[in-house]
Amino acid sequence: MIQAGIIGGAGYTAGELIRLLLVHSKVEINFVFSTSSAGKKLSAIHQDLVGSTAQVFTDTINPDVDILFLCLGHGNSKAFLEKTTFSSTTKIIDLSNDFRLTQDAVFQDKHFVYGLPELNKTAIQSAQYIANPGCFATAIQLAILPLAANGLVEDAIHVNAVTGATGAGTALSATTHFTWRVDNFSHYKAFNHQHLGEIHQSVDALQEGLKSAIHFIPNRGNFSRGIFATVYTKYNGTLEDAKSLFETYYKDAEFTIISENSIHLKQVVNTNKCLLQLEVHDGKLLITSVIDNLLKGASGQAVHNMNLMYGFEEHLGLQLKANYF
């Protein structure tokens, strides 16, 4: 059994990661590190784990684990690795944005590969260090990549996307307070969200010399989890052309599916799927993309990357059912 360690074990992404790894047939959780919760049962913080495990949080690190998941806040993974040394054979998957961009990908003697399987599957399979993509970045890239791969991004890309409250993490803030969030809706970081960097990086890598802007407005939804993104851009083909383009690009993708019908969040929440639906209107292609921000947008994708790194079946530990009703 592969021995896994988790750093930053008290957050939402760590909770989902623990849930997935507990039922993974090839992995054993060696430790879950949390300075704030050391000595407490995992289920005391992640209450959906009551009856599933008696394991406790620890403030002691095993530097010889086979794989390490960093579930730390943005900017904290680099600081953690600067002061903590692991075995030269330990694989690392970082869920923050510290190593996603090319200029940040080399740290100490580690080279982090951008971990979007639909883009970098071959590189992930041979990698030791992975920078897990952001949640918005995942949903948006999966809507754009087939166009960029075929040189068909001809004009600005417009994105409007809504995320659930868990996208903000467990730290309390004015905009995650129940009385503010319930029956409410707002946008934030319009046109300058931190995930735009990695989106541009991937799209530019596929369509060299691309000059088109990506106009992204993120929104806060009054629900717990999930991302619903609508993406549109200039397109001269037919709907049948677009469907063929996307189906060809994703023909070997384990979790990205083109839907013939309109899609909605409940189809993907609690799964590692990305559902895409296409429409053509007056010379514009509309791509709707839905994911679970904590799974396909974070912990599920991290497990998918681990499976690729070790040569496991891609769906191992990720055969999940949506909470449809």
Active site residues: 135
Q: For tokens 């791509």, what's the residue?
A: 287
Contact present, 253 and 214 (Cβ < 8 Å): no
Please, which residues bridge with residue 93 across strands? 69, 130
Burial class (CB in 10 A: 0-12, 13-18, 19+), 258: buried
**Distances in Å between the alpha carbon of 169 and those of 11, 133, 164, 223?**
7, 16, 10, 14
- Cα–Cα distance for residue pair 315/184, rounded to 1 Å: 36
| CA-wise closest residue to 110 among 78, 141, 135 | 78
Q: Which residues pair with 211 in a beta bridge?
A: none
What's the angle, vertex CA 304, arms to CA 29 and CA 137, rounded to 5? 120
3-class DSSP assignment, residue 131 = strand
Alpha-carbon distances of 126 from 48, 130, 306, rounded to whole Å: 34, 10, 11
Which helix (H) or strand (E) segment holds residue 119: the answer is helix 117-125
Antiparallel, parallel or unpaired: β 157-163 and 214-220: parallel
